[in-house]
């Protein structure tokens, strides 16, 4: 019986030691011409302390916005500040009527900086001579 308790305690301590990283996306707005649509706040769980995940962050009948996020840390022997940095890469893909436009944003948070970023990207979707400009804006926080 003591072996099973010890095994359960070990499993519990290992699961607690493996940190979970969470990405929170809030204040999402999608603007096309004078029309602004608000999205819902979402939370994306990354597997482990470092990792990546894909998520649909906005969808309606006109378009879909998908995000891929990767969070990693640096390992720099010469600089303790750079070694403690957290790197967050955001890739945004906007799908409109079978067409896709993408953007990549990279943010680096040093030391004890608040791991929060405001991201604003403009997408250009061309259909013949018609050009649609769609602006996506949101706040992202890595916890």
pLDDT tens by residue, 55-98: 999 999 888 999 999 998 866 666 666 667 888 999 999 999 88
CA distance 138 to 127: 26
Q: Rounded to 5, what percent of the chain is helix, strand, coil?
A: 15, 60, 25
Query: Residues 6-44: pLDDT tens digits?
Result: 444 444 444 444 568 898 999 999 999 989 999 999 999
Element (H, E) at 106: strand 99-109
Q: Which residue has the higher pLDDT, 6 or 139?
A: 139
pLDDT of residue 15: 44
Question: What DSSP designation does 61 have?
Answer: S
CA distance 70 to 53: 7
CA distance 72 to 94: 24
> What are φ and ψ of residue 75, in 5° steps?
-130, 90
CA distance 16 to 49: 11
Alpha carbon 129 to chain centroid distance? 33
In the chain, domain spans: 20-142
Query: Residues 105-114: pLDDT tens digits?
Result: 999 888 777 8
Sign of CA dihedral 67, 73, 76, 80: positive
Query: Is 76 within 8 Å of 92 (Cβ atoms)?
Result: no
CA angle 129, 92, 74 (to 5 degrees): 145
């Amino acid at each position: 019986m003591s072996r099973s308790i010890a095994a359960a305690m070990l499993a519990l301590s290992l699961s607690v030691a493996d940190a979970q990283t969470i990405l929170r996306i809030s204040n999402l707005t999608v603007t096309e011409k004078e029309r602004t649509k608000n999205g819902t706040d979402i939370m994306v769980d990354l597997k482990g302390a470092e990792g990546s995940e894909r998520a649909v962050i906005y969808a309606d009948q006109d378009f879909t916005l998908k995000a891929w996020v990767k969070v990693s840390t640096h390992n720099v022997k010469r600089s303790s500040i750079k070694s403690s940095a957290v790197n967050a890469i955001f890739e945004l893909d906007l799908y409109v009527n079978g067409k896709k436009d993408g953007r990549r944003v990279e943010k680096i948070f040093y030391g004890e900086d608040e791991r929060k970023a405001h991201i604003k990207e403009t997408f250009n979707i061309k259909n013949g001579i018609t050009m649609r400009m769609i602006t996506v804006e949101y706040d992202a926080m890595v916890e």
